[in-house]
Amino acid sequence: MVPGHELIGTVTEVGSKVTRVKVGDNVGVGVIKDSCLDCGACQGGDEQYCEAGNNVHTYNSMKRYTHIGGNPDTQNFGGYSASEVVNERFILKIPDAIPLTQAGPILCAGITLYDPLRHWGATKGKKMSVGIVGIGGLGTMGVKIAKALGHTVTAISTSANKEALAKQKGAENFVVSTNAESMAAAASTLDLILNTVSADH
């Protein structure tokens, strides 16, 4: 396992009903490893909105359902575990070409930024102008993904010293949000803005 909330590792054992992975496969699991699997959200593939309200996280969470084995009185410890039992529905195969040490960020920041791009139509082939607010770990991943999808990317930061980093990651444009002129010059130029900043701004 690679330390973190996500589970990254190699399959060492599979149950008799498992069909999606085999022993020796490199796999990853995001933050959720189980849910009720019965409600409308779970049936629709949106386990993060489990209507039972109790999806099971890979870390700091108790086993609430019978879809996975293990002691139900033992909490999950995420990537700090030596091994983990996971329902195959929550497993993603990791291609051999991706080292396991590099797969963790894809399952965390990668999914966090890819999902809103998918939700707002940015994965359907239409070229867009995408703004990414906040050029930290999430923001730089967002810049890379949006660029890889073929979009024109504008990085937006309170700090002018993030420009070189943002452009190195693929941003064509850079806006300093604390500079009125920079903001005015970018007005009405973006089709979609992803905000990775958790603080009020």
With 80 as the cut, is the pLDDT of residue 174 above it? yes
With 80 as the cut, is the pLDDT of residue 2 above it? no
Q: Given this model, what pLDDT does residue 106 score? A: 81
Tokens 């920079």 belong to residue: 182
Question: CA-CA distance, 192 to 154, in Å (whole number)?
Answer: 10
Predicted confidence (pLDDT) per residue in 140-162, tens digit: 999 999 999 999 999 999 999 99
DSSP of 48-99, one letter per residue? GG-TTS-PEESBS----SSSS-S-TTS--BGGGSS-----GGG-EEPPTTS-
With 60 as the cut, is the pLDDT of residue 48 above it? yes
In terms of average pLDDT, the best of 80-84, 93-97, 161-165 is: 161-165
Average pLDDT of the segment spanning 79-105: 84
Question: CA-CA distance, 46 to 51, in Å (whole number)?
Answer: 10
Q: Given this model, what pLDDT does residue 85 score? A: 81
Q: Given this model, what pLDDT does residue 79 score? A: 66
With 80 as the cut, is the pLDDT of residue 52 above it? yes
Decide: helix, strand or coil at residue 130: strand
CA-only gyration radius of the chain, Å:
19
Question: Domain boundaries in the chain?
Answer: 7-98, 111-195
Structure tokens at 95: 């291609």
The class (CATH top level) of 111-195 is: alpha beta
Q: Residue 5 — very low, low, confident or very high, per pLDDT cuts 50/70/90?
A: low
Structure tokens at 31: 């933050």
Predicted confidence (pLDDT) per residue in 126-138, tens digit: 999 999 999 999 9
b or e along 69-85 (b: 16 or more beta carbons within 10 Å of the residue's beta carbon)? eeeeeeebebbeeeebe
The pTM score is 0.74
Which CATH code fits 7-98? 3.90.180.10
